Protein backbone atom coordinates (compact mmCIF):
# COMPACT_ATOMS: atom_id res chain seq x y z
CA UNK A 1 0.00 0.00 0.00
CA UNK A 2 3.00 2.34 -0.19
CA UNK A 3 4.06 4.29 -3.26
CA UNK A 4 7.61 5.46 -3.97
CA UNK A 5 8.00 8.15 -6.61
CA UNK A 6 11.32 9.37 -8.03
CA UNK A 7 11.26 12.40 -10.34
CA UNK A 8 14.22 14.79 -10.40
CA UNK A 9 12.93 18.27 -9.38
CA UNK A 10 9.42 17.14 -10.32
CA UNK A 11 7.70 16.66 -6.94
CA UNK A 12 5.97 19.46 -5.03
CA UNK A 13 6.88 20.46 -1.50
CA UNK A 14 3.93 19.18 0.57
CA UNK A 15 3.78 22.30 2.77
CA UNK A 16 3.71 24.78 -0.13
CA UNK A 17 4.27 23.86 -3.77
CA UNK A 18 6.12 27.15 -4.31
CA UNK A 19 8.82 26.19 -1.79
CA UNK A 20 11.03 24.22 -4.14
CA UNK A 21 10.74 21.03 -6.17
CA UNK A 22 11.80 17.72 -4.63
CA UNK A 23 13.21 14.54 -6.14
CA UNK A 24 11.52 11.65 -4.32
CA UNK A 25 8.42 10.93 -2.28
CA UNK A 26 6.93 8.05 -0.37
CA UNK A 27 3.25 7.82 0.57
CA UNK A 28 1.01 5.32 2.28
CA UNK A 29 -1.20 4.69 5.30
CA UNK A 30 -0.45 3.98 8.97
CA UNK A 31 -3.29 3.05 11.33
CA UNK A 32 -5.84 4.70 9.05
CA UNK A 33 -3.80 7.89 8.58
CA UNK A 34 -2.52 8.95 5.16
CA UNK A 35 1.11 9.98 5.38
CA UNK A 36 3.64 11.23 2.86
CA UNK A 37 7.21 12.53 2.84
CA UNK A 38 9.27 14.19 0.11
CA UNK A 39 12.95 15.03 -0.17
CA UNK A 40 15.38 17.02 -2.28
CA UNK A 41 18.62 15.12 -1.74
CA UNK A 42 21.02 17.70 -3.17
CA UNK A 43 19.68 20.57 -1.06
CA UNK A 44 18.70 18.41 1.96
CA UNK A 45 15.17 19.84 1.90
CA UNK A 46 12.22 17.78 3.12
CA UNK A 47 8.47 18.03 3.64
CA UNK A 48 5.78 15.86 5.20
CA UNK A 49 2.02 15.52 5.54
CA UNK A 50 -0.32 13.40 7.63
CA UNK A 51 -4.10 13.36 7.53
CA UNK A 52 -6.76 11.42 9.35
CA UNK A 53 -9.95 11.65 11.38
CA UNK A 54 -10.33 11.79 15.18
CA UNK A 55 -13.81 11.83 16.75
CA UNK A 56 -15.31 13.09 13.49
CA UNK A 57 -12.75 15.88 13.07
CA UNK A 58 -10.65 15.67 9.89
CA UNK A 59 -7.08 16.73 10.68
CA UNK A 60 -4.18 17.52 8.36
CA UNK A 61 -0.60 18.22 9.46
CA UNK A 62 1.97 19.55 6.99
CA UNK A 63 5.52 20.80 7.39
CA UNK A 64 8.87 21.47 5.75
CA UNK A 65 12.42 22.50 6.59
CA UNK A 66 12.43 24.88 3.62
CA UNK A 67 9.65 27.48 3.62
CA UNK A 68 9.71 30.81 1.74
CA UNK A 69 12.38 32.07 4.16
CA UNK A 70 14.53 28.95 4.04
CA UNK A 71 13.55 27.71 7.51
CA UNK A 72 11.14 25.25 9.10
CA UNK A 73 7.37 25.67 8.95
CA UNK A 74 4.32 23.69 10.00
CA UNK A 75 0.55 23.89 9.66
CA UNK A 76 -2.43 22.20 11.31
CA UNK A 77 -5.83 22.28 9.58
CA UNK A 78 -9.09 20.84 10.90
CA UNK A 79 -12.64 20.49 9.58
CA UNK A 80 -15.82 19.10 11.08
CA UNK A 81 -19.02 18.21 9.22
CA UNK A 82 -21.88 19.28 11.47
CA UNK A 83 -24.56 17.68 9.32
CA UNK A 84 -27.32 19.33 7.27
CA UNK A 85 -24.65 20.59 4.84
CA UNK A 86 -22.67 22.69 7.33
CA UNK A 87 -18.90 22.17 7.69
CA UNK A 88 -16.66 24.14 10.06
CA UNK A 89 -12.94 24.54 9.42
CA UNK A 90 -9.85 26.23 10.81
CA UNK A 91 -6.07 26.26 10.53
CA UNK A 92 -2.95 27.52 12.32
CA UNK A 93 0.36 28.08 10.54
CA UNK A 94 3.85 28.64 11.99
CA UNK A 95 6.57 29.80 9.61
CA UNK A 96 10.19 30.69 10.20
CA UNK A 97 10.04 34.46 9.62
CA UNK A 98 11.06 35.98 12.96
CA UNK A 99 8.41 38.75 13.06
CA UNK A 100 5.52 36.28 12.77
CA UNK A 101 4.10 38.08 9.75
CA UNK A 102 3.47 34.79 7.93
CA UNK A 103 1.92 32.87 10.84
CA UNK A 104 -1.59 32.95 9.39
CA UNK A 105 -4.65 31.55 11.17
CA UNK A 106 -8.09 30.94 9.65
CA UNK A 107 -11.65 30.18 10.73
CA UNK A 108 -14.44 29.43 8.29
CA UNK A 109 -17.40 27.41 7.16
CA UNK A 110 -19.12 26.02 4.10
CA UNK A 111 -22.84 25.36 3.78
CA UNK A 112 -24.47 23.29 1.06
CA UNK A 113 -28.11 24.06 0.24
CA UNK A 114 -29.18 21.78 -2.55
CA UNK A 115 -27.47 22.97 -5.72
CA UNK A 116 -25.83 25.95 -4.01
CA UNK A 117 -22.80 25.95 -1.70
CA UNK A 118 -21.58 29.08 0.09
CA UNK A 119 -18.36 29.49 2.05
CA UNK A 120 -16.68 32.14 4.16
CA UNK A 121 -13.23 32.25 5.74
CA UNK A 122 -11.90 34.92 8.09
CA UNK A 123 -8.12 35.21 8.17
CA UNK A 124 -5.67 36.53 10.74
CA UNK A 125 -2.67 37.42 8.52
CA UNK A 126 0.28 37.10 10.87
CA UNK A 127 0.63 37.02 14.64
CA UNK A 128 0.23 40.80 15.10
CA UNK A 129 -2.96 41.16 13.02
CA UNK A 130 -6.60 40.37 13.77
CA UNK A 131 -9.20 37.97 12.40
CA UNK A 132 -11.14 39.70 9.66
CA UNK A 133 -8.21 41.74 8.35
CA UNK A 134 -8.41 39.39 5.39
CA UNK A 135 -11.36 37.23 4.32
CA UNK A 136 -12.70 35.13 1.44
CA UNK A 137 -16.30 34.55 0.36
CA UNK A 138 -17.46 32.11 -2.28
CA UNK A 139 -20.70 30.79 -3.75
CA UNK A 140 -21.05 27.91 -6.19
CA UNK A 141 -23.98 26.49 -8.14
CA UNK A 142 -24.16 23.16 -9.96
CA UNK A 143 -27.22 21.64 -11.58
CA UNK A 144 -27.46 19.54 -14.70
CA UNK A 145 -25.15 20.89 -17.38
CA UNK A 146 -24.49 24.22 -15.64
CA UNK A 147 -21.77 24.97 -13.07
CA UNK A 148 -21.04 28.48 -11.85
CA UNK A 149 -18.97 30.06 -9.10
CA UNK A 150 -18.43 33.49 -7.57
CA UNK A 151 -15.58 34.55 -5.26
CA UNK A 152 -14.79 37.82 -3.47
CA UNK A 153 -12.17 38.88 -0.92
CA UNK A 154 -11.24 41.88 1.23
CA UNK A 155 -9.29 43.46 -1.64
CA UNK A 156 -12.42 43.47 -3.86
CA UNK A 157 -10.85 40.80 -6.07
CA UNK A 158 -13.84 39.24 -7.84
CA UNK A 159 -13.88 36.02 -9.85
CA UNK A 160 -16.87 34.66 -11.77
CA UNK A 161 -16.80 31.40 -13.74
CA UNK A 162 -19.63 29.77 -15.67
CA UNK A 163 -19.30 26.39 -17.37
CA UNK A 164 -21.89 24.63 -19.55
CA UNK A 165 -21.56 20.96 -20.48
CA UNK A 166 -22.27 20.56 -24.20
CA UNK A 167 -22.07 16.76 -24.07
CA UNK A 168 -19.64 14.42 -25.78
CA UNK A 169 -16.73 15.65 -23.65
CA UNK A 170 -17.14 19.30 -24.69
CA UNK A 171 -18.01 22.28 -22.51
CA UNK A 172 -18.27 26.02 -23.01
CA UNK A 173 -17.02 28.44 -20.36
CA UNK A 174 -16.78 32.11 -19.53
CA UNK A 175 -14.52 33.51 -16.80
CA UNK A 176 -13.89 36.97 -15.40
CA UNK A 177 -11.42 38.16 -12.77
CA UNK A 178 -11.25 41.74 -11.58
CA UNK A 179 -9.06 43.21 -8.83
CA UNK A 180 -9.72 46.82 -7.93
CA UNK A 181 -6.84 49.22 -8.50
CA UNK A 182 -4.69 46.80 -10.51
CA UNK A 183 -4.15 45.87 -14.11
CA UNK A 184 -4.46 42.15 -13.36
CA UNK A 185 -7.96 41.82 -14.82
CA UNK A 186 -8.90 38.92 -17.06
CA UNK A 187 -11.89 37.92 -19.19
CA UNK A 188 -11.95 34.66 -21.12
CA UNK A 189 -14.52 32.76 -23.19
CA UNK A 190 -13.79 29.40 -24.71
CA UNK A 191 -14.36 25.69 -25.14
CA UNK A 192 -12.90 22.67 -23.36
CA UNK A 193 -12.65 19.23 -24.96
CA UNK A 194 -12.00 15.97 -23.10
CA UNK A 195 -11.18 12.85 -25.10
What pLDDT, on a 0 to 100 scale, did the predictor assign at position 91? Answer: 98
Is the confidence at residue 50, as pLDDT, over 90?
yes
Query: Using H for helix, E for strand and C for coil, what is the string for 74-114?
Result: EEEEEEEEEECCEEEEEEEEECCCCCCCCCCEEEEEEEEEC
Asked if residues 63 and 76 have their Cβ atoms less than 8 Å apart, the reply is no
Is the confidence at residue 180, as pLDDT, over 90?
no
Measure the CA dihedral 186/192/194/195, to 10°.
-130
Q: pLDDT class for 35, splitting at 50, 70, 90?
A: very high
Q: How far apart are CA 158 and CA 178, in angstroms?
A: 5
pLDDT per residue over 111-130, tens digit each?
999 999 999 999 999 999 99
Q: What is the mean pLDDT of the chain?
A: 95
Using alpha carbons, select from 145, 143, 133, 138 the residue that is nearest to residue 117.
138
The more confident residue out of 23 and 18 is 23
The more confident residue out of 70 and 88 is 88
Asked if residues 148 and 141 have their Cβ atoms less than 8 Å apart, the reply is yes
Q: pLDDT class for 109, splitting at 50, 70, 90?
A: very high
Amino acid sequence: GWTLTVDQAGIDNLFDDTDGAHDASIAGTIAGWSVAMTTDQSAKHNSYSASGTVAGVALTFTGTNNDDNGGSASKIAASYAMGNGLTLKGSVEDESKSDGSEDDSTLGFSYAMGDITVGYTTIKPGSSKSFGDEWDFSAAYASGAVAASFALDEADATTIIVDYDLGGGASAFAAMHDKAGTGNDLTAIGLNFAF
